[in-house]
Chain A
Amino acid sequence: DQQVKQNSPSLSVQEGRISILNCDYTNSMFDYFLWYKKYPAEGPTFLISISSIKDKNEDGRFTVFLNKSAKHLSLHIVPSQPGDSAVYFCAASAMGNTPLVFGKGTRLSVIA
């Protein structure tokens, strides 16, 4: 049973436009959420995170929004750049000694 779901396997966006990647979760015990970016044959790199006490966190071109009532979070990238083309993973953590749970990823293609 998938606790973290990324329902869109892929997304194509034009350069300069906004990219919106979505993630849903089912476990109400999750209280910390992260986004990772991954290029082929490399390890994921941490992008941005958000605690459940917030509903928005910004870092440069990246903003993560959290809607706890809907158990939904999204990553906005604006403006999108060709270097943003990668697979993006959503991850969630519950309090206590439990590892991160990852979604299956969304492949973003930014077209010049």
Chain B
Amino acid sequence: GAVVSQHPSWVICKSGTSVKIECRSLDFQATTMFWYRQFPKQSLMLMATSNEGSKATYEQGVEKDKFLINHASLTLSTLTVTSAHPEDSSFYICSARVGRDVGRRTEAFFGQGTRLTVV
């Protein structure tokens, strides 16, 4: 099946620094990728939709200036957590769908996730 690769798998950073997470579609082109965040014992919460060549669409309550998304190519989207704080510590997961057609029934493929710890 389609493969989505996410890097890094885990990162520990100091409060106030920025962290970049990469999400790559390895064997297909993804015009749209999605970024999720998951806190312990909670479900995945959609943060934003990353659109190739245009601005990301953020969900209500997600600060676009804090979570910078860049989708520069059809195979790469990046999420940068700027000025990270301990409350940003979470499991961040990206996903992409195969297929460009709206309405096509295809499942989402997920990256391996990035466990971010801000100390």
User: Do A and B share a complex?
Assistant: no
Binding site for B on A (CB under 8 A): none
